[in-house]
């Protein structure tokens, strides 16, 4: 692949596509981005009030270390956009049994020098009275981490890309030709460039048959809540919660920066079609609420604002795939619901590697959390 491609075509206007367009454009590349709906796209995997950024990744040390680079990339984006769209809420993880993912996270974090405070069940309830201590055998509190204001970030990235000269086109791609770096659109027109990046989220397996079995669309339901009257301030001050119950589990996003609180399931359904309606059924909503009733003391007094579905694209080991499709095309997929935090750092790494071909061979292992970035791939901190 030639250095410094003259034009790049990006398919997908979620966090991955926008981040790549931003990084390429700020490096001087001409970029055209094709997105089937508006930006932010309410059907996209990235579009929501919030996404989370955290260091806790069990024994996946490579991915945990990648989070530090992600924070640096976000700082660069905040500087470029002129606003900081993250709330440093901290992270609380609780488990019903010792060992397992939480213990692996603790060991990995402390080995790398991260602050991680152990809490007893009683301490959890004392510091966060909206939570029940029932069944908590282990708990870990981290001060670093929190809530990315996802919809606002997508809008800010869109504005920044426009300012950098990125061309946007609203059109639906129905076929991808990696060998020629071209897209065929629903109206029969074609778009091409020197380089193509496919970042089509849960639609990627449909457009790239080679991803079948490697990436699966997964319908995920979230429930939005308004805390009880007089309790919003207390809820907004709590950390994001990862509840690792033996039978299922859930995550809670606090209602920061004027957003609703949100709860969702850790597990993947691995079913559904990204063309499906995003409205959640009553049964889907009840299944999420049932996961949280044992832990959230305030839940009976909360008002359910909405329940809706989104679609992730899931890789079996939850690895992010950033891989060549040929000499002129790449795919960025498999974000598995946790990839939003890595959008800017992946975009910066991709842009740098496209301008320095010697770095390209290292991209797949680095994005998957299996190897550190090669020297020169990422901007120096600060």
Write the CATH number for 333. Answer: 3.50.50.60
Q: Quick count: other Cβ atoms within 10 Å of Cβ 49?
A: 21
Domain annotation covers residue 343:
yes
- H-type helices in 130-268, by residue range? 150-163, 204-207, 232-236
- The model's pTM is 0.95
Task: Note whether 223 and 260 are same-domain residues.
Answer: yes
Task: Note whether 245 and 331 are same-domain residues.
Answer: no
CA atoms within a 13 Å half-sphere pointing along the CA-CB vector of 281: 5
Task: Note whether 276 and 305 are same-domain residues.
Answer: yes
Domain annotation covers residue 108:
yes
Task: Note whether 225 and 281 are same-domain residues.
Answer: yes
Helix (H, G, I), strand (E, B) or coil at 292: helix
pLDDT at position 304 is 97
In terms of Cα–Cα distance, which of 352, 347, 316, 350 is closest to 334?
316
Domain annotation covers residue 379:
no
Task: Note whether 114 and 221 are same-domain residues.
Answer: yes
Helix (H, G, I), strand (E, B) or coil at 110: helix
Q: What's the total number of domains in the chain?
A: 2
In terms of Cα–Cα distance, which of 254, 252, 313, 287 is closest to 44?
313
Task: Note whether 295 and 351 are same-domain residues.
Answer: no
Domain annotation covers residue 180:
yes
Task: Encode the chain (382 residues) as per-residue pLDDT tens digits.
Answer: 334 458 999 999 999 999 999 999 999 999 999 999 989 888 888 778 999 999 999 999 999 999 999 999 999 999 999 999 999 999 999 999 999 999 999 999 999 999 999 999 999 999 999 999 999 999 999 999 989 999 999 999 999 999 999 999 999 999 999 999 999 999 999 999 999 999 999 999 999 999 988 999 999 999 999 999 999 999 999 999 999 987 778 999 999 999 999 999 989 999 999 999 999 999 999 999 999 999 999 999 999 999 999 999 999 999 999 999 999 999 999 998 899 999 999 999 999 999 999 999 999 999 999 999 999 999 876 5
Domain annotation covers residue 170:
yes
> What residues make up the domain containing 276?
91-143+216-314
Task: Note whether 274 and 261 are same-domain residues.
Answer: yes
| Strands lying side by side in the sheet with 216-226 | 117-118, 138-142, 91-95, 240-244, 250-253, 261-265, 216-226, 303-314
Write the CATH number for 307. Answer: 3.30.9.10
- Which structure tokens are listed for 297? 């003391």
CA distance 230 to 143: 25
Task: Note whether 28 and 131 are same-domain residues.
Answer: no
- Which structure tokens are listed for 38? 């508006």
pLDDT at position 5 is 55
Last residue of a domain, one of 280, 299, 314: 314
Task: Note whether 164 and 107 are same-domain residues.
Answer: no
CA distance 274 to 207: 13
Domain annotation covers residue 78:
no
Task: Note whether 222 and 302 are same-domain residues.
Answer: yes
Task: Note whether 270 and 204 are same-domain residues.
Answer: no
Residue 178's alpha-carbon distances to 20, 35, 169, 337, in angstroms, are 18, 18, 19, 26
Domain annotation covers residue 58:
no
pLDDT at position 382 is 58
Task: Note whether 236 and 133 are same-domain residues.
Answer: yes
Domain annotation covers residue 373:
no
């Amino acid at each position: 692949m030639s250095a410094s491609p003259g034009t790049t075509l990006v398919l997908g206007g979620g966090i991955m596509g926008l981040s790549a367009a931003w990084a390429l454009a700020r490096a001087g590349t001409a970029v055209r981005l094709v997105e089937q709906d508006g930006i932010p796209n309410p059907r996209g995997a990235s579009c929501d009030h919030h996404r989370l950024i955290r260091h806790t990744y069990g024994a996946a040390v490579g991915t945990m270390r990648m989070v530090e680079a992600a924070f640096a990339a976000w700082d660069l984006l905040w500087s470029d956009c002129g606003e900081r769209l993250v709330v440093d809420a901290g992270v609380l993880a609780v488990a019903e049994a010792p060992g397992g993912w939480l213990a692996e996270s603790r060991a990995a974090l402390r080995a790398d020098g991260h602050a991680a405070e152990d809490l007893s069940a009683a301490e959890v309830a004392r510091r966060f009275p909206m939570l029940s201590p029932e069944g908590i055998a282990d708990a870990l509190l981290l001060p670093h981490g929190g809530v990315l204001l996802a919809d606002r970030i997508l809008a800010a990235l869109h504005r920044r890309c426009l300012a950098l000269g990125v061309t946007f086109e609203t059109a639906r791609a129905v076929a991808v030709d990696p060998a020629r770096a071209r897209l065929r659109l629903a109206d029969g027109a074609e778009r091409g460039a020197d380089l193509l990046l496919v970042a089509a989220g849960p639609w990627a397996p449909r457009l790239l048959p080679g991803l079948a079995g490697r990436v699966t669309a997964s319908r995920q339901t979230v429930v939005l809540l308004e805390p009880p009257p007089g309790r919003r301030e207390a809820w907004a001050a709590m950390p994001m919660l990862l509840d690792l119950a033996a039978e299922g589990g859930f995550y809670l996003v606090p209602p920061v920066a004027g957003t609703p609180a949100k709860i969702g399931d850790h597990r993947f359904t691995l079913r559904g079609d990204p063309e499906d309606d995003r409205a959640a059924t009553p049964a889907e909503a009840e299944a999420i609420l049932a996961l949280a009733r044992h832990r959230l003391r305030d839940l009976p007094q909360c008002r359910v604002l909405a329940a809706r579905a989104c679609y992730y694209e899931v890789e079996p080991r939850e690895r992010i795939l950033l891989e060549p499709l040929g000499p002129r095309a790449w795919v960025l997929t498999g974000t598995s619901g946790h990839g939003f935090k890595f959008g800017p750092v992946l975009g910066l790494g991709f842009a740098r590697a496209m301008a320095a071909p010697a770095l390209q061979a290292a991209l797949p292992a680095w994005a998957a959390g299996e190897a550190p970035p090669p020297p020169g791939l990422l901007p120096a901190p600060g």
